[in-house]
Structure 1
Amino acid sequence: MQDANKITQIIIAEIRETVPELADQEISASDAMAELGVDSIERSEVIIATMEKLGLKIPMVQLHGPRNIGELAALLATKTAG
């Protein structure tokens, strides 16, 4: 099982890569992507890239619900556990 903190760092790195204007912004696990200005298409790109790095293949509909980056990381961590 992947550590949620490690997954949080992967998500933040993917946000910075997908949305270059956020490269220098402080981003934490308690931030919501929408509040950071990440639109739904960019959010999908971030999640897909993160899942690829984690070796996960799960339907996006299973990833609705988390309200911030930390909750998303925790959910992905449970998915990596199998």
Structure 2
Amino acid sequence: MHKEEVFDIVKRCIREVLPELQDHTFEYGDRLVDLGADSVDRAEIVNKTMETLSLNIPRVELSGVKNIGELTDALYAKL
């Protein structure tokens, strides 16, 4: 799987949790909090993405990610 495919999965999960972002053009530097995601939304996005990728990563390993690009990179590194 390529990193761009992981990014596409992250975007799809964001849109599932935050349907108001259906038409948003996502960039690697987008921060979930700036997109309107609260802490519950962010946890749900991460969980859905990891489930889709069949990953089981301790959440503490993802606590330092600052934007969806870093989330993509962190998840891609675990594949």
- TM-score, normalized by the shorter chain, greater than 0.5: yes
Deviation, structure 1 residue 11: 0.6
Alignment correspondent of 1:16: 15
2:2 corresponds in structure 1 to: 3
Percent of aligned pairs with the same residue?
Answer: 41
Gaps of 5+ in 1: none
Partner-residue secondary structure (3-state), 1:33: coil
1:53 alignment partner AA: T
Matches within 5 A, 1:1-82: 2-80=1-79
- The alpha carbon displacement at 1:51 in A equals 0.5
How far off is 1:4 after superposition?
2.0
Q: Deviations over 1:52-82 (max 9, x none)?
A: 11110111111111111111100111111xx
Can you give the 5+ residue segments of structure 2 that lack an aligned partner in the other structure? none
What do the CA deviations read for 1:10-65 (whole angstroms, capped 9, x no partner)?
Answer: 11111111011111222222111111111111111111111011110111111111
What amino acid is aligned across from residue 32 of structure 2 in structure 1?
M
Q: CA RMSD in A?
A: 1.1
Aligned equivalents of 1:18, 1:78: Cα separation in 2: 24
Contact 1:33 1:69 in 2 (8 A): yes
Aligned residues: 79
* Contact 1:29–1:69 under 8 Å retained in 2: yes
TM-score, normalisation: structure 2:
0.91
